[in-house]
Structure 1
């Protein structure tokens, strides 16, 4: 599979705004968290909903949309704030090398089944199975999110 251009529809942009609103008033739902990273050009904080995956006690954030600005911003900033409801933690974001992404991606559909359809629809994975996700390792970006020492909590 080759990654396509970003396909975030107006409907999904509206859904993201609703998810952000509920988190900010302290009502998170599902596996969703908010990731806030500074814009790479403006420096203005940008927030996007993400569905982390936990593997061997480590938290990972997976790109669901091709050419996502949050991925470019995270690469540039190297960190951000991960929020669930009213609990926020500063995190370092380290991009996982392509050859190490497979185990994380294999876990994604089991931990975030409602998010699987977006990956298939966007052309990032060939199927919603664990094997389909693992096969997408060369072109699906994954970040390890580790708590920043001395950061916000």
Structure 2
């Protein structure tokens, strides 16, 4: 088994072991959520606040995400394997996406690894700020589309269907 440092934590590469997010992620997400709720963008992209019911608490849980459009459909990619919002999205029937005062309800459909590959290949072009995040997290090294495609099955990809 190959062990590698990922975002300040050591994990087995290719394993299903949960990788912990970096310490700075939760405080940064709080700032990004507030910016998005005010309708502000950052990094030239249009992030939104994804809110789903917590699978254990039943309370609303929010995280910033940057949807991308491929072939006329919207998708979000989990920037971290084992992210709590992914587990909540899998358990919830619906989610809301908010940017400023605009709120819409969606159904999140998780793609199979085979279906996720072309979406992941498009990620570095469609969400360039996500490339830096994934590099810092240790998931990729140089940001080539092939590296993102190889994350299929590790990083969840969801299609956002309107409700």
Whether the TM-score (by the shorter chain) exceeds 0.5 is yes
Matched, 1:13 2:26: yes
Within 2, Cα distance between the matches of 1:21 and 1:52?
A: 17
TM-score normalised by the chain length of structure 1: 0.87
**Given that residues 124 and 139 in structure 1 are in contact (C-alpha distance below 8 angstroms), is that contact kept between their aligned partners in structure 2?**
no
Residues 67-86 of structure 1 aligned to structure 2 (within 5 Å): 67-86=82-101
User: Which residue is 2:61 aligned to?
Assistant: 46
Distance apart, 1:11 and its partner CA: 2.2
Aligned-pair Cα RMSD in Å: 1.7
Distance apart, 1:124 and its partner CA: 3.2
Where in structure 1 are there 5+ consecutive unaligned residues? 149-153
Where in structure 2 are there 5+ consecutive unaligned residues? 1-12
Aligned residues: 148
**Given that residues 22 and 137 in structure 2 are in contact (C-alpha distance below 8 angstroms), is that contact kept between their aligned partners in structure 1?**
no
Runs of 4+ in 1 over 6 A off after TM superposition: none
2:38 to 25, 33, 38: 25
2:156 to 117, 141, 144: 141
SS at match of 1:10: coil
**Given that residues 94 and 105 in structure 2 are in contact (C-alpha distance below 8 angstroms), is that contact kept between their aligned partners in structure 1?**
yes
Larger relative contact order (C-alpha < 8 A, sep ≥ 6)?
Answer: 1
**Given that residues 66 and 76 in structure 2 are in contact (C-alpha distance below 8 angstroms), is that contact kept between their aligned partners in structure 1?**
yes
Most deviating of 130-139 and 72-81: 130-139
Within 2, Cα distance between the matches of 1:79 and 1:127?
A: 35
TM-score normalised by the chain length of structure 2: 0.82
Distance apart, 1:4 and its partner CA: 5.7
SS at match of 2:39: coil
Distance apart, 1:126 and its partner CA: 5.0
Distance apart, 1:125 and its partner CA: 3.5
SS at match of 2:31: helix
**Given that residues 37 and 49 in structure 2 are in contact (C-alpha distance below 8 angstroms), is that contact kept between their aligned partners in structure 1?**
no
**Given that residues 38 and 99 in structure 2 are in contact (C-alpha distance below 8 angstroms), is that contact kept between their aligned partners in structure 1?**
no
Distance apart, 1:97 and its partner CA: 0.8
Cα deviations across residues 42-91 of structure 1 (Å, max 9, x unaligned)? Answer: 11000001111210011011010121010000000032001122211100
